[in-house]
Structure 1
Amino acid sequence: MESLTDFPDPAAGHAAARTAEETARAALAGEGVHLMPPADVLACTGTDESAWARFTTHWDDLYEDEYAARRGTCRLRRYGHFSFMPATGELRLLPHTGFVQPGGTNPLYERVDRRFEPLTGAFVADPVLRALIGVLGRTAGALDTAERWSVKVHPFRVLATADGSGEPTPEGRHRDGVTLVSSLLVGRDNATGGESTVYGPEGEEMLSVTLDEPASLLLSDDRGTLHEVSPVRPSDAGAPARRDVLVTTLTPG
């Protein structure tokens, strides 16, 4: 597990969290993309070292993504769907169903009813996840007004060996058909690549960054942008590369 060094001082956490959320909202409303550094994410979610360590263990309990495997990528994942009310903070897990992306978004999987294993009960109950969804729900308010957010949660682990690269986004440049899309780096090991790029509607590059510090959070307005992640390869060819992320999307509804 990667260690974090800049855990927030509880006495200063509330002020730091307010500032971080205000900065994120302003950037999303103005530019459509924002990179929230780990210190801000930890402050906003009230996460300390032991809570982060517990949170990362959920990535050791994922299942193979058979759809990605058909294209030669070793990707592990689960999936969950929540309802979040920003006015009250109510978060409710919805019944487990297939995951379908709308037309005009994902060239590989649009309108395909993909079936993934549900989130574990421990993951659903984890305070870090629940706090993060709250942060995202408040931040998404800069893009749209919603009495209730539809929140879709995807923990991913991509593995790669010297014989083949791991593809975090085998579909290439795409949209998710949502309002806000976010990618939280949970960890990476022995990995090169995995550069996240957000593009404007005409294909212009808006932001390109390699999430390499745990708790880094990339946010973008999916309505007017596209995104992709470059292949992951091992730094040391004698061992596999690993990249763990949490992708969370929000749409009014």
Structure 2
Amino acid sequence: MTREFSAPGTTPERLLTALAEDGYAILEPAATAQWLDVPLSDLEAMHDDWNGLPPDEYLKDGGRYRTRRHACFVVHGGEVEQVPHRAHWQPVEYNALHGGMQRWFAPMMASTVVRPAWQRLLLRLADAASALRGPQRWYIEAHQFRIDTAGGIGRPTPEGAHRDGVDLVAVALVGRHNVKGGETRVFEAEGRRGERFTMSEPWTLMLLDDARVIHESTPIQPLAEHTPGWRDTLVITCRQGAFQGG
């Protein structure tokens, strides 16, 4: 039997302190809603937007287990601006499997990005990035992921343990159904300390200082055979200066 370790949650009041001290911090769902100052039901209402995500056509391992959407924003001066749709690009130094290539994913739906809860989430993440690096313009990329077990196994991070080449990474569990695995692992980029835990409750939110830690999620498998299984996540990155790839 696989043992699941609970995510070590903090309070909204200590979120930025924990992020500064440890390089990462985790909010349980109620704490996420409190930090954002939105009802948890408003966040949960977004989950339907993960149904029908288009396939990721760029998986180099030949898998068909990942579907996704992508969008880019600039946050500055308390304002959120969605920028024209663009490719997602990472250098091979940060993504040895898929780096160095322009990946054009389907855009996020307009009905998602106009939600007040979505706008609030981006603003608060920009605030957290500013607490780490100082107030400035933030270049934000958002990724909706569904990893499924239709082929028997799904890999949330086929590239392995990695950094993203940004300043702040936020990972929210949006939902999971009929799966085991998907353990989150966070390690010091320069050191030996690490932690492992399973994000199991929708809208558990993890923030990472990308300069200090590397992260990965282990593969998922179905709990019951012949029954669909999936894990839905939202990944948002904040980067100073510009989007990766110019």
Q: Same fold (TM over 0.5)?
A: yes
How far does residue 53 in structure 1 lie from its aligned partner after superposition?
3.8
Q: Does residue 1:157 correspond to 2:150, yes or no?
A: no
Within 1, Cα distance between the matches of 2:193 and 2:147?
24
The structure where helix makes up a greater share of residues is 1
State whether residues 149 and 221 of structure 2, in contact with CA within 8 Å, keep that contact through their aligned partners in structure 1. yes
How far does residue 47 in structure 1 lie from its aligned partner after superposition?
3.0
State whether residues 33 and 40 of structure 2, in contact with CA within 8 Å, keep that contact through their aligned partners in structure 1. no
How far does residue 147 in structure 1 lie from its aligned partner after superposition?
1.6
One-letter amino acid of the counterpart of residue 127, structure 2? R
Which of 36, 46, 69 is matched with 2:27 structurally?
36
How far does residue 105 in structure 1 lie from its aligned partner after superposition?
0.5
Deviation string, structure 1 residues 157-208 (Cα, Å, up to 9, x no partner): 00003x5210000111111000111110110000110011111124634221
Q: Summarize the Cα distance change of 1:99–1:142 in structure 2 as closer, same or farther, 3 Å threshold.
A: same
How far does residue 48 in structure 1 lie from its aligned partner after superposition?
2.5
Look up the match of 1:230. Answer: 218
One-letter amino acid of the counterpart of residue 31, structure 2? D
State whether residues 16 and 128 of structure 2, in contact with CA within 8 Å, keep that contact through their aligned partners in structure 1. yes
Query: SS at the partner of 1:58?
Result: helix
What root-mean-square deviation, in Å, do the aligned CA atoms of Structure 1 and Structure 2 show?
1.8
Look up the match of 1:27. Answer: 18
One-letter amino acid of the counterpart of residue 128, structure 2? T
Look up the match of 2:177. Answer: 189
Look up the match of 1:122. Answer: 111
TM-score of the superposition, structure 1-length normalised? Answer: 0.86
One-letter amino acid of the counterpart of residue 136, structure 2? E
Within 2, Cα distance between the matches of 1:205 and 1:245?
25
State whether residues 190 and 212 of structure 2, in contact with CA within 8 Å, keep that contact through their aligned partners in structure 1. no
One-letter amino acid of the counterpart of residue 57, structure 1? D
Q: Which runs of 5+ in 2 are unaligned?
A: 1-9, 242-246
One-letter amino acid of the counterpart of residue 25, structure 1? L
Which of 129, 134, 145 is matched with 1:145 structurally?
134
Structure 1 residue ranges, 4+ long, deviating more than 6 angstroms after superposition: none
Within 2, Cα distance between the matches of 1:70 and 1:62?
20
Within 2, Cα distance between the matches of 1:142 and 1:136?
10
Look up the match of 1:75. Answer: 66
Q: Summarize the Cα distance change of 1:153–1:175 in structure 2 as closer, same or farther, 3 Å threshold.
A: same
One-letter amino acid of the counterpart of residue 118, structure 1? P
TM-score of the superposition, structure 2-length normalised? Answer: 0.89
Look up the match of 2:164. Answer: 176
Within 1, Cα distance between the matches of 2:193 and 2:154?
23
